Amino acid sequence: MATTDAKDILSTLSGPRPTDFTTRPVIMGIHGMVTSGHYLASRIGLHIMESGGNAIDAGVAMGFALAVLEPYLYGIGGEAPILIYLADECRVVSVSGQGPAPKAATITWFKNNGIDAIPGDGLLAAVVPDAMASWITALANFGTMRLSDEIQRLKRFQLTALPFPYSFSCYKTI
């Protein structure tokens, strides 16, 4: 492989530079990387990392930001399974984020109602939303910031002051 071929491959893998055309703003940093479904959430995650937070802190902040920026896709009332790689321990931990079954959804209830197997989808398979609890659990066990500090940093971005149809009610709730 020629040296120029290697450079071409590296430039392709590294993605667009600020001078290249892109349909979204390029968010760049030198001490970490974050990604999300919305560029402003990614910028918030990068801000958290630049402020001394770790990847968990950034991920939780982006989760809250996405609940405001794209409430039709993400939300505090959804599910958020999380996998965390602990590099110091060379192991992966998980925070379920799937939510518990409703209190009345017992095996006895299903049997009494003629249901042999819990369905894979639909109302009878629904769980209590757990995104908020999984974010708080991840932050408490593996983050470096307090939830209140993260929320304050999020508020500094004034997401609802932007001229876009973001969820003001969700912003106020958070």
In this prediction, residue 164 carries a pLDDT of 47
Which secondary structure element, helix H or strand E, spans residue 8, and what is its range? helix 3-14
128 Cβ neighbours under 8 A, 6+ residues apart: 99, 100, 101, 102
For residue 14, is pLDDT > 90? no
Task: Report residue 11's pLDDT band, with 50, 70 and 90 as the boundaries.
Answer: low
Number of C-beta neighbours around residue 101 at 10 A: 13
List residues bridging with 94 in a β-sheet: 83
User: What's the mean pLDDT in 26-48?
Assistant: 83
Q: Which helix (H) or strand (E) holds 94?
A: strand 91-95
pLDDT at 144: 96
Distance CA 38, CA 70 (A): 8
pTM: 0.71
pLDDT level of residue 134 (50, 70, 90 thresholds): very high
Q: How confident is the model at residue 68 (pLDDT cuts 50, 70, 90)?
A: confident
pLDDT band at 18 (very low <50, low <70, confident <90, very high): low
Cα dihedral across residues 77, 81, 85, 89: positive or negative: positive
Place of tokens 């760049």: 28
Q: Considering only the C-alpha atoms of the chain, give the largest distance between any 2 of them, rounded to a whole number of Å.
A: 71
pLDDT at 158: 65
- Each residue's pLDDT tens digit, 69-99: 888 888 888 889 999 999 999 999 999 888 8
165 pLDDT exceeds 50? no
Task: Measure CA of the first residue to CA of the last residue in the chain; give whole Å.
Answer: 53
Question: Which of 133, 43, 52, 42 minimizes the C-alpha distance to 96?
Answer: 133
Q: How many residues does the chain have?
A: 174
pLDDT at 163 over 80: no
Q: Average pLDDT in the 118-139 region?
A: 87
pLDDT band at 16 (very low <50, low <70, confident <90, very high): low
Alpha helices by DSSP H, listed for 28-156, are 39-50, 55-69, 107-112, 131-142, 147-156
